[in-house]
Each structure stands twice: as C-alpha cells, then as structure tokens.
C-alpha cells in the first residue's frame, strides 16, 4: 500500500514532484505545484508517507534529488549541487563564471538580476534582488548573480513545499527537530538505499559511530527510537 501511494504522489502527472532529467528515479518538489490549492496539504501527507516507509523499511521505488535532500537537511545549495537537477542552468552558470572578464563587461550577454518564471502558460519577470531589473551582470558581480539565481530557482521557489514535507515527516517522528537530524546524519546515497535499494550495504555501526547528535544525547528516547528502526 505504501509503495502504491508513493508511486501516485511522485507521479509527475500529479504536478507535485518533478523528476530529474538525468535520473528519472529522482524527484524534487515542483515549483508550479501551487496550481492545486491543496498542494501544501499533499506535501505534508507525502512527508508522512515517506517517514512511514522508512520506519517500516518499505522501499518505494523513488529517491530524492540532491537539492531536495540538502534542503531537508538544512544545508545550502551550491552550483555543483544543481548539475543533475537542471543541466541547462548549470551549464549556463558555469559559462558565465568562466567567461573572459572583458567579454562579460562588454554587456554582450545582456543579463540583469532577474529571472523569467513560467506559470500557467504565461511568463513573468522576477527580480533576484531589489532593483534587479536595472543591475547589469558584469565580471565583478557575476558570482552574486549566479548565487541569487540558484537561490531563487532551487530554494525560494520550493521553500513552502519543502517546509510542509518536513513538517509531515516530523509529525510521524513526533519531533520536528528529529527530522532535520535524520537527514543531516545521512549521505544521499544512504537514503537512496533505504528508499530504492542498492547493491551496496550500509554499516549501521559505522554510521552510529560517526553521528553528531546536535542537542540530543545517545540515551534520549528519540535517538533510541531512531537507531531501533535501522
């Protein structure tokens, strides 16, 4: 049952999650999910279902894209993290950063601190920072431009969806703080194995030996429950 529910929730036709173009098993929240007024409730429900799958060791046939995993762990998204999420944006940003300074300063690119966002068949221009429409990208500010572009497209546009998924996940754990700790204690490959399976195995003893509890003690009930389920 959990497997079938996850397959339905992560089906791209339902517009909640988007598959990674380089690995169709990997998903992250769709920035256009708000076309459904109930989308945030569905993300909370998705978090609960994934938590239940992990608790009961049910492999659900889907895995998380790196940007989704990192945000659940409370970590920053870098340019390298979006390589597989959006190869086109990654390539464009790399080119901007590596171009000759004189070429960038000649304004041949014609870029300003804005981003075009497609919603419901129409396109709107969003400023990446106050006054972004009038800020021309040059060799001195191009790193800031790339940073703000990544933050807007892969973090701010997904923040509500990620937050509600995390709340649902934490609800099953009976502690929202434990949700972030769970994802911080893992590598993405570890979570892949739990949700999808792998030919390699995880050493729970090694994982436990290298875990930092950040405000918890190893003897706390929540931590006992966490390791009991592994």
State how far the Cα of 4 lies from the Cα of 18, in Å rounded to an integer.
Answer: 18
Mark whether 8 and 70 lie in a shared domain. yes
pLDDT score of 199: 47
The residue among 154, 184, 219 that closes a domain is 154
Lowest mean pLDDT among 18-27, 60-69, 96-105, 198-207: 198-207
Mark whether 170 and 69 lie in a shared domain. yes
| Block residue for tokens 């001195």 | 140
Angle 119-124-128 from CA coordinates, rounded to 5°: 110
State how far the Cα of 119 lies from the Cα of 125, in Å rounded to an integer.
Answer: 11
**CATH number of the domain encompassing residue 70:** 3.90.1750.10
pLDDT score of 114: 98
Mark whether 16 and 121 lie in a shared domain. no
**CA dist list (Å): 94 to 27, 105, 203:** 23, 16, 37
Mark whether 92 and 142 lie in a shared domain. yes
CB atoms within 10 A of CB 12: 12
Higher local confidence (pLDDT), 220 or 129: 129
Q: pLDDT band at 135, cuts 50/70/90?
A: very high
pLDDT score of 119: 77
Mark whether 101 and 138 lie in a shared domain. yes
CB atoms within 10 A of CB 192: 18
**CATH number of the domain encompassing residue 114:** 3.30.2160.10
Mark whether 107 and 197 lie in a shared domain. no
Mark whether 173 and 126 lie in a shared domain. no
The residue among 154, 172, 187 that closes a domain is 154
Mark whether 73 and 163 lie in a shared domain. yes
Mark whether 98 and 73 lie in a shared domain. no
pLDDT score of 223: 64
- CA 33 from chain centre, in angstroms, equals 15
Residues 151-169: tens digit of each pLDDT? 999 999 999 999 999 999 9
The residue among 98, 127, 154 that closes a domain is 154
Mark whether 67 and 173 lie in a shared domain. yes
Give residues with Cβ within 8 angstroms of 203, minimum separation 6.
Answer: none
Q: What percent of the chain has pLDDT over 90?
A: 71
pLDDT score of 138: 96
Taking residues 181-198, what's their average pLDDT? 88
Lowest mean pLDDT among 46-50, 126-130, 176-180: 176-180
Domain count, the chain: 2
Mark whether 147 and 177 lie in a shared domain. no
Q: pLDDT band at 201, cuts 50/70/90?
A: very low
Mark whether 56 and 41 lie in a shared domain. yes
Rounded to two decimals, the pTM is: 0.82
Domain that holds residue 100: 80-154
């Amino acid at each position: 049952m959990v497997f079938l529910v996850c397959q339905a929730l992560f089906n791209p036709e339902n517009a909640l999650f988007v598959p990674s173009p380089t690995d169709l098993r990997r998903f992250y929240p769709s920035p256009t999910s708000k076309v459904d007024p109930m989308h945030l409730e569905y993300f909370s429900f998705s978090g609960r279902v994934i938590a239940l799958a992990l608790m009961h060791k049910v492999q659900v046939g889907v895995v998380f894209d790196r940007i989704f995993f990192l945000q659940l762990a409370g970590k920053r998204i870098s340019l390298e993290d979006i390589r597989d999420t959006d190869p086109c944006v990654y390539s464009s940003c790399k080119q901007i950063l590596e171009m000759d300074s004189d070429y960038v300063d000649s304004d041949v690119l014609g870029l300003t601190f804005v981003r075009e966002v497609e919603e419901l068949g129409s396109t709107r221009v969003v400023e990446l920072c106050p006054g972004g429409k009038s800020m021309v990208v040059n060799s001195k500010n191009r790193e800031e431009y790339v940073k703000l572009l990544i933050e807007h497209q892969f973090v701010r546009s997904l923040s509500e969806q990620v937050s509600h998924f995390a709340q649902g996940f934490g609800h099953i754990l009976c502690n929202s703080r434990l949700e972030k700790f769970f994802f911080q204690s893992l590598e993405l490959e570890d979570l892949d194995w739990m949700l999808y399976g792998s030919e390699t195995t995880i050493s729970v003893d090694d994982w436990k030996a290298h875990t930092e509890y950040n405000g918890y003690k190893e003897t706390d009930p929540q931590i006992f429950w966490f390791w009991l389920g592994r």
